[in-house]
Amino acid sequence: MIKTDGKPSGNAAAGRTGAAIEVRGLRKSFGDHVVLAGIDLSVPAGTVFALLGPNGAGKTTMVRILATLSAADAGEVAIAGHDIVRDPLAVRSVIGVTGQFSAIDAYLSAEENLLLMADLWHLPRRAGRQRSAELLELFDLAGVGPRPAFTFSGGMQRRLDLAMTLIGAPRVIFLDEPTTGLDPRGRRTMWELIRRLVRTEAVTIFLTTQYLEEADQLAGLVAVLDHGAVVAQGTAAELKRRIPGGHALLTFTSASALEAAARQFGDRASRNDEALTLQVASDDSARSVQDLLAGIDVDAVRHVALHTPDLDDVFLTLTGQTGKEQS
Amino acid sequence: MTVKVYPLRDTSTMLRRNIKQELRDKVAIGAIIGIPVLFLLLFVYVFGGALKDSVRSASTPAYIDYVLPGLIIMTAAAGLIGISTQASVDMTAGIIDRFRTMAIFRPSILIARIAASALQTLVAMVAVFVIAFALGFRSDAGLMRWLGAAGLLAFVTVSLACLGLAFGLAAKTVASASNGPFPLVVLPLVGSGIVPTSTMPAGLRYFAEYQPFSPMINTLRGLLLGTPIGWSWLIALAWCGGLGLLGLIWSVSVFNRRDRQRGTPGPGFSAAAAG
Ligand SMILES: Nc1ncnc2c1ncn2[C@@H]1O[C@H](COP(=O)(O)OP(=O)(O)OP(=O)(O)O)[C@@H](O)[C@H]1O
Ligand SMILES: [Mg+2]
């Protein structure tokens, strides 16, 4: 239950822009190690925002600060208009957080975990039971019965964790690598759940991920975090366009066919005589593929593979280094 | 915006959660009752024959009468291990961080932990008393002395729970939270619990007389059996107040510390979970 006394507690900038999350000059170090070196970002209400970065980039640090778990060294953050330092309780009353590691009560059953959250959100008894039953159904946990959560698989724990985050109907949701550790099917299910959430509940979602594809699937806006700074921001499509990592890999049946095709493409291609392959810059649209194949003898092509840019390409391009562990 | 806070409601929610956990963790409750009962059997049946002459007096005709108060105090120390382990599981499993992101009355997390643990330990003490009566323990105490004993034990239990909470919150791993406090469980044995301190060599005797558990044991023994108490009761209360306060202050400061490096659920977790 939330009482509003009309006094604005948040910072004025966020109030004006109507952003659900407003971050200005956010800095954080652990000792000498600068993890966030002045981050600015703004997430409009009702959208999905993805923070993309490799291991150690500072994604979790960022989420922990926005979720009032950790204190920044400098900068201003407003969540739904509430300043995280001046009014953390107001922030907590509108957010839901699913951390990188499951935060469930292992001794309780799925339903008991959800009812615990409902009680802590101060939902009326009946509303809590009803919402819990809906979420168990939605997250495919309705059949698990009274067994304690420590018997669940990683994927089930992840789903329960997200269901616990949603039970109080938070308006701003933080998801730290929500699909890491899930199998491909689990990942698709999670994506579907997140999309449905945005469609039906009009929430704002701030998620972190190491996969451009995931950001692409879910987010309107993507920011790339590297060594504590946002090195690129935009839609996933915009980011991909800036990245020349997209290519088609053609494998030929003979050296002469490779030779002929290589002459055809000139500068656009790089060849590998041993593997009889030719790598040609291209995106993954049908039009590009058609253009690509139009000029060559398709009977001499054994195999075509399309490579769309992934996080490695993003990092290689934007930072001039591979997306390996940063420390 | 003013967010309404619900101290009582949140505390009772947390208390229900913690009691449920305790009821499901059969290994822990088994250990809290089992450790003192094991020592009880050991001292009464194995060593009792040899030791009984050193303690025989009008008020302690049987060795079990002499030894039980020490083992009841040992139960409180075993309870300290229980709360330390539970607090550490909560911290390392991330659920505390989840609570911290919610608009709840934060002290409820610690208050409920202490209350649930104290309840568990007091129930365990009743079980140890029942077993001791079945084995021949007798007390001539009247209602007032029993009430005094109950009050003393409640105070001892709560203050040790505060200390155990701090150990658990501060521990880096669940294993260290559950093994670290173990010396405290056997500390009552190196006091006035098993044999009178007057039978010990000088250095050890000095330690045994002044360690915190001895005045608690002496007070409890006096209440149950009518042996002289002297100033033991005051020293016992002072120790409990001091240790409890230390535990509380330490707990709150660890709990409010941000940027903890998170640990991983260690072996203690699965051991407890398997029960
Ligand atoms: N409590 C802490 N104390 C000291 N250093 C820390 C602490 N928390 C994080 N760090 C350091 O800050 C850096 C960023 O860590 P963070 O967990 O935010 O990365 P991340 O982007 O979430 O990585 P991952 O993809 O592996 O989850 C790392 O180098 C980490 O070692
Ligand atoms: Mg992380």
Highest mean pLDDT out of A191-195, A323-327, B167-171: B167-171
**Is the distance from the beta carbon of residue B261 to the nearest atom of ligand 1 less than 6 Å?**
yes
Minimal-distance CA residue to ligand 1 atom 16? A58
Using CB atoms, which residue from A67, A92, A106 is nearest to B93?
A: A106
- A102 to chain B, any CB pair closer than 8 A? The answer is yes
Q: Is the pLDDT of residue B171 over 90?
A: yes
Contacts of A164 in chain B (CB under 8 A): 98
Q: Do B102 and A107 touch (CB under 8 A)?
A: no
Dist. CA B92–CA A111, nearest whole Å: 22
CA distances from A46 to A165, A221, A317, B69 (A): 17, 12, 31, 64
Q: Cβ contacts (< 8 Å) between A121 and chain B: which residues? A: 102
Which residue from B1, B25, B101 is facing A2, i.e. has the nearest CB? Answer: B1
CA of A323 vs chain B CAs: smallest distance (Å): 24
pLDDT digits (tens, 9 = 90+) for A80-107: 999 999 999 999 999 999 988 889 999 9
Contact between A82 and B1 using a beta-carbon 8 Å cutoff = yes
Nearest ligand, CA of residue A34? 1
Instruction: Evaluate the CA torsion angle A150, A153, A158, A160 in order and state its sign.
Output: negative
Cα B124 to Cα B77, B128, B137, B181: the distances in Å are: 12, 6, 17, 18
- Which member of B17, B94, B103 has the closest CB to residue A99? B94
Answer whether A169 touches B (CB < 8 Å). Answer: no
Question: B2 to chain A: which residues are within 8 Å by CB?
Answer: 3-5, 90
Q: Is residue B242's pLDDT more than 50?
A: yes
For residue A3, is pLDDT > 60? no
Beta strands in chain A (DSSP E): 2-3, 19-30, 33-44, 48-52, 74-79, 82-83, 95-98, 172-176, 204-209, 221-226, 229-234, 247-252, 269-272, 277-281, 301-307
Please give the residue that has the higher pLDDT: either B55 or B88.
Answer: B88
**Residue A9's pLDDT band (cuts 50, 70, 90):** very low
Tell me, using a 6 A CB cutoff, whether residue A178 lines ligand 1: no
Whether residue A110 is predicted with pLDDT greater than 60 in this model: the reply is yes
Mean pLDDT for the stretch of residues A152-165: 92
Tell me if B137 is assigned to some domain: yes
pLDDT for the residue numbered A61: 95
Verify whether the Cβ–Cβ distance B103 to A104 is below 8 Å.
no
Could you tell me if the CB of A172 is within 6 A of ligand 1? no
- pLDDT > 70? residue B260: no
pLDDT of residue A244: 66
Q: Which ligand is nearest to the CA of A64?
A: 1
Q: Across the interface, do B1 and A106 touch by the CB < 8 Å criterion?
A: no
Give the closest of B3, B93, B100 to A69, CB-based: B100
Q: Is residue B199 part of a domain?
A: yes
> With contacts defined as CB-CB under 8 Å, which chain A residues touch B1?
2-5, 7, 9, 82, 87, 90, 93
Name residue A307's beta-bridge partners: A247
Instruction: Using alpha carbons, list the distances in angstroms from residue B222 to A53, B54, B140, B210.
Output: 67, 18, 11, 17
Cα B74 from Cα B168, distance rounded (Å):
19
Does any domain span residue B2?
A: no
Residues 6+ apart with CB under 8 A from B253: none
Looking at this protein, which amino acid is placed at residue A302? R
DSSP H helical segments within chain B, as ranges?
7-24, 26-41, 48-55, 63-92, 95-100, 107-134, 143-170, 174-179, 182-186, 202-210, 213-225, 232-256, 267-274
pLDDT at B274 over 70: no
In chain A, which residue's Cα lies nearest the Cα of B15? A116
What is the number of domains present in chain B? 1
Q: Is A56 on the interface with B (CB under 8 A)?
A: no
Residue B105 lies in a domain: yes
Q: What is the pLDDT of chain A when averaged over all its residues?
A: 86
CB contact under 8 Å between B24 and A82, yes or no, is: no
Find all residues with CB under 8 Å of B169, minimum gap 6, and list them: B87, B88, B91, B251, B254, B255
Q: Could you tell me the end-to-end alpha-carbon distance of chain A, in angstroms, rounded to an integer?
A: 43
Q: What's the Rg (C-alpha) of chain B?
A: 20
> Please, are residues A21 and A62 in contact by the beta-carbon 8 Å criterion?
no
Q: Say yes or no to pLDDT of B150 above 80.
A: yes
pLDDT over 80 at A10, yes or no: no
- Taking residues B164-188, what's their average pLDDT? 92
Does the distance separating the beta carbons of B3 and A107 come in below 8 Å? Answer: no
| Antiparallel, parallel or unpaired: β A74-79 and A82-83 | antiparallel
How close B1 gets to chain A, by Cα (Å)?
Answer: 5
Q: Which of A51-65, A135-149, B38-52 comes out lowest in average pLDDT?
A: B38-52
Least confident of A7-21, A38-52, A70-84: A7-21
Q: Would B1 be classed as within a structural domain?
A: no
Q: Is residue A229 predicted with pLDDT exceeding 70?
A: yes
> Are A122 and B93 within 8 A, CB to CB?
no
Q: Are A81 and A67 in contact (CB under 8 A)?
A: no
pLDDT at res. B275: 31
pTM above 0.90, yes or no: no
Residue B262, chain A, CB below 8 Å: the answer is yes
Return all residues near B36 (Cβ < 8 A) that are at least 6 apart: B71, B72, B74, B75, B78, B124, B128
Contact list, B25 vs chain A (CB under 8 Å)? 107
* The residue type at A130: Q
Residue B60 lies inside a defined structural domain of this protein: yes
The whole-number pLDDT of residue A245 equals 64
Looking at A127-136, B31-40, B110-119, which range is the least confident one? Answer: B31-40
Alpha carbon dihedral A30, A66, A43, B1, in 10-degree steps, equals -150
State the ipTM, two decimals.
0.86
Q: Which of A285-294, B31-40, B57-66 has the lowest mean pLDDT?
A: B57-66
**Could you tell me the distance, in angstroms and rounded to a whole number, from the CA of residue B219 to the centre of ligand 1?**
52
User: Containing domain of residue B94, as a range?
Assistant: 7-274
Q: Is any ligand 1 atom within 6 A of the Cβ of residue A325?
A: no
Q: Please report the residues numbered 76 through 105 in chain B whose beta carbons come closer than 8 angstroms to any beta carbon of chain A.
A: 89, 93-95, 97-104
Determine the Cα–Cα distance for residues B108 and A224; give it in Å rounded to an integer: 39
Q: Determine which helix (DSSP H) or strand (DSSP E) holds A115, and give its type and residue range.
A: helix A110-120
Residue nearest to atom 5 of ligand 1 (CA): A30
Q: How many whole angstroms separate alpha carbon B193 and alpha carbon B47?
A: 13
> What is the DSSP annotation of B2-36?
EE---HHHHHHHHHHHHHHHHHH-HHHHHHHHHHH
Assess whether the C-beta atom of A30 lies below 6 angstroms from ligand 1: yes
Question: B131 lies in a domain?
Answer: yes
Q: How far is the CA of A57 from the centre of ligand 1 (A)?
A: 7
What's at B143, amino acid-wise? L
For residue A123, give both structure tokens.
């939902």
Contact B139, B133 (CB under 8 A): no
Question: What does each C-alpha distance from A285 to A219, A302, B209 come to in angstroms?
Answer: 20, 20, 85
